[in-house]
Chain A
Amino acid sequence: MSASTAVKNTGPAAGATGRKARKPRRQGWWLPYALLAPAVIFELFVHVVPMVTGIWMSFLKLTKMFISNWGNAPFVGLKNYQVALDFDSAVGMGLLKSFGITIAFTLLVVGISWGLGMAAAVALQKTFKGRAIFRTLFLIPYALPMYAGVIAWKFMLQKDNGALNHLIFDNLGLPGDKPFWLIGDNAFISVVIVAIWRLWPFAFLMLMAGLQSIPTDVYEAASVDGAKPLRQWWNITLPMLRPVNISLVLVMFLWTFNDFNTPFVLFGGSQPPAGDLISFHIYNASFLTWNFGSGAAMSVLLLLFLMVVSGIYVLFMNRRKDNA
């Protein structure tokens, strides 16, 4: 999310900094630090220190033989990383597969959620009777506690007693056998759909907020010029939403890539390989095999990957902005 900060720093805050500088540094220089102190303390305590501990763990042989006495856990250097990245071994292969699945999952979920969110935001852009009802309705999946929404899906996706198969085969009368949704290859489709169901309202919300800040006279001018709706969307809406989209896409990407809750609740203990998302994969690698060193190494690799991708994204977006 550093993208948004980077982007924003060129915004209003930049003006502020210039003016503030005239204050002599001595008087009250500590005030901003004092204001930040509580946030820094909590961040250090809950995020930073545990993260550093986690990184340290990744260099230890932290299996169940040593887990109750950390002091004795042998330092193994990069061994855990080697195992995780040895794609000829079962462990490395498993991680690689899970990584591939997660990339496909993330692209689909973020892409489709963005598309649905955009479609809904545009469809509800102009006032009409009942608009508020639909807006409210669309936000419910986002407001629902995660567990409640996903467990309802789990219930619906059962093969014989599930609502989905009932709808497709008993109500709509499609031919064929009822398929499984929670095991086998369809599990991937299921986890994608459920994740989209939970995420797209967020995209809708952000885009709707963004659309509200576009003045209507821009559209009026365009329609006088005879621009078709699709053209208007392409020429006006999309560029105006660019700042929203830059942060929205990155935030959705990070959330989706790290999504643990959806597969955890949807599949529980019997997770099918097709739904083996990386967070859950690492969780299992740590807790199911008691190999916390190896799990930590995988997490660090995941973190590095996300940092690199985010970094490139931010650079790329800033450069395009500069060129524009």
Chain B
Amino acid sequence: MKIRSLAAVAAIAALALTGCSGSANDASDPSAGKTLTYWASNQGTSLDNDKEVLTPQLKKFEEETGIKVNLEVIGWNDLQTRIQTAVTSGQAPDVLNIGNTWAASLQSTGAFLPFDSAALDAIGGKDKFVKTAMDTGGVPGEDPTSVPLYGLAYGLYYNKAMFKDAGLTPPTTWEDMVAAAKKLTTGDKHGFALAAGSYTENSHFAFINAAQNGADFFDAEGKPTFTEDGIIDGISRYLDLMQTDKVVDPGNAQYDNATRAVNDFANGKVAMMLTQSNANSSISSQGMKDDEFGVVAFPSPKGGTEVATMVAGINMSIFKNTKNKDGALEFVKFMTSETTQAALDKPFAALPVLAGVTPSFTDDAELAKTFSDIYENKSRPLPLVPAEDQFESTVGKAMNQMFATIASGGTVTKEDIKAALTTAQQAVEAAS
């Protein structure tokens, strides 16, 4: 009988599958003392590339400590959902990477191990980290639940040849930047490319532009203050790059990913872009040589506060319910040690999060200096409040929408911005 044998095959297959599934990672494994599960975020050109970079380090860790690390690299599309389900269910890795902007939000779930003084000592002390980076670890005044792993910062990338041909020098003020962009917007070339359809990028620049005006999205009590004038002005200034200055191709409104702007920049379609310091590898992979572009700090308007970036980057957290706390701390210590950092900063184009370490992400000393300066002196952490993630999604999506309106021929006034931010604020308040 065909069906009968099919059934038998299926039953055997099902048994075999359940049987072999025990080999998958699990924190509740009895041999937990000897293993760790680690979720790494996608930092390189592909998940595979990340694995290639990390594996030798994990081998080294195993040789040193006898602890085997089961690595899973998770793409950014999935990372947040995976973390959420892990938090909800307790079925979690021991150690994981998080976008440092989520640190305070994740801290409020109570699912992560607070780095109290003992834990900090175990990983080599708080002072080994750059202070700006360490500040992103969680809500101020509480034990952080994450420590910095890779540093990143936004920079204003410019095309050297295009600037030279137009007789321009890299801008140092917002006004210069807009003037240069206008001059460079000719024919099918544009002065600027923005990831105007990416809500994360948009929320970051809402924050940075507001910070340049001295405005904050949350007050000292953690209450949202989205409708402050400084915020509205900052967002309006940023939107105007497309709306009134017309130095951004309206098509950018559907750039839902920072890489789209990088493509345009590398292909010589735009003269400037705002992107994070790890863009170099994608620029060069698209055929633009390292000496063809330069980087300066994203400039503030005259008289504004000098804020060029938020403190971007990746932090490391330990799940509270780990069966191998000592091993996890040991692993965080290893990953944030000078040798490991030196090995990883270059392939992942990361800025050093360790104090007193010279950047190794690029061979270009000037570029390294520029980014170190931006990261250490011209940066602000995004709001360190539990509702930070909602700030990103509500404000970022509102800005997506405003860019879409502008791009399809409409206008966005300051009243419109205020109305959109009021709705965003209501949504944040409703959720808390």
Contact = CB atoms under 8 A, between A and B. Distances in A.
Contacts of B390: 288-289
A8 interface: no
Interface stretch (A113-121, A222-230, A264-272): A264-272
B81 interface: yes
Nearest to A179: B408
Secondary structure at the A interface, as helix, strand, loop or mixed, is loop
Interface string A146-170: 0000000000001110000000000
A287 B78 CA distance: 11
Interface string B389-432: 11001000100110111011000000000000001101100111
Q: How large is the interface on B (under 10, 10 to 19, 20 to 34, 35 or more residues)?
A: 35 or more
Nearest to B398: A273
A133 to B, nearest CB: 32
B251 interface: yes
Given A68-B88, A183-B254, A272 B400 contact: yes
A174 interface: no
A90 B423 contact: yes
Interface in B80-128: 80-81, 84, 87-88, 90, 105, 108-111
A183 B202 CA distance: 15
Nearest to B85: A287
A91 interface: yes
B86 to A, nearest CB: 9
Contact of B254 (A159, A290, A291): A159
A279 to B, nearest CB: 15
Nearest to B401: A273
Given A90-B427, A158-B254, A270-B256, A184 B407 contact: yes
A125 B426 CA distance: 56
Contacts of B431: 63, 289-291, 294
A195 interface: no
Instruction: Pick the most buried of A89, A90, A91, A160: most chain B CB atoms within 10 A of its CB.
Output: A90
Contacts of A270: 197-199, 254, 256, 397, 400
B404 A183 contact: yes
B393 A183 contact: no
A214 B109 CA distance: 62
B344 interface: no
Contacts of A140: none
A17 interface: no
B138 interface: no
Interface in A75-106: 83, 89-91, 94
B393 A68 contact: no
A64 interface: yes
Interface string A205-233: 00000000000000000000000000000
B253 interface: yes
B17 to A, nearest CB: 16
Instruction: Pick the most buried of A68, A184, A186: most chain B CB atoms within 10 A of its CB.
Output: A68
B256 A290 contact: no
Interface residues of A, number: 35
A67 B389 CA distance: 15
A64 B199 contact: no
Interface in B191-230: 197-200
B401 A64 contact: no
Contacts of A291: 431
B52 to A, nearest CB: 27
B198 A65 contact: no
Contacts of A138: none
Contacts of A268: 77, 256
A89 B426 contact: yes
Nearest to B188: A160
A312 to B, nearest CB: 32
A69 interface: yes
Interface string B242-285: 00000001010110100000000000000000000000000000
A272 B254 CA distance: 10
B432 A83 contact: no
Contacts of B423: 90
Given A184-B407, A287-B80, A68 B256 contact: no
B148 interface: no
Interface in B39-84: 77, 80-81, 84
9 contacts: A90-B426, A180-B404, A180-B407, A183-B404, A268-B256, A269-B77, A284-B393, A289-B389, A289-B427
The 8 closest A-B pairs by CB, nearest first: A90-B426, A68-B111, A183-B404, A270-B256, A184-B408, A184-B404, A160-B251, A289-B431
Given A91-B426, A180-B254, 11 more contacts: A65-B109, A68-B88, A90-B424, A179-B408, A180-B407, A183-B253, A183-B400, A184-B405, A272-B401, A288-B390, A290-B109
Interface of A: 63-65, 67-69, 83, 89-91, 94, 158-160, 179-180, 182-186, 268-273, 284, 287-292, 294
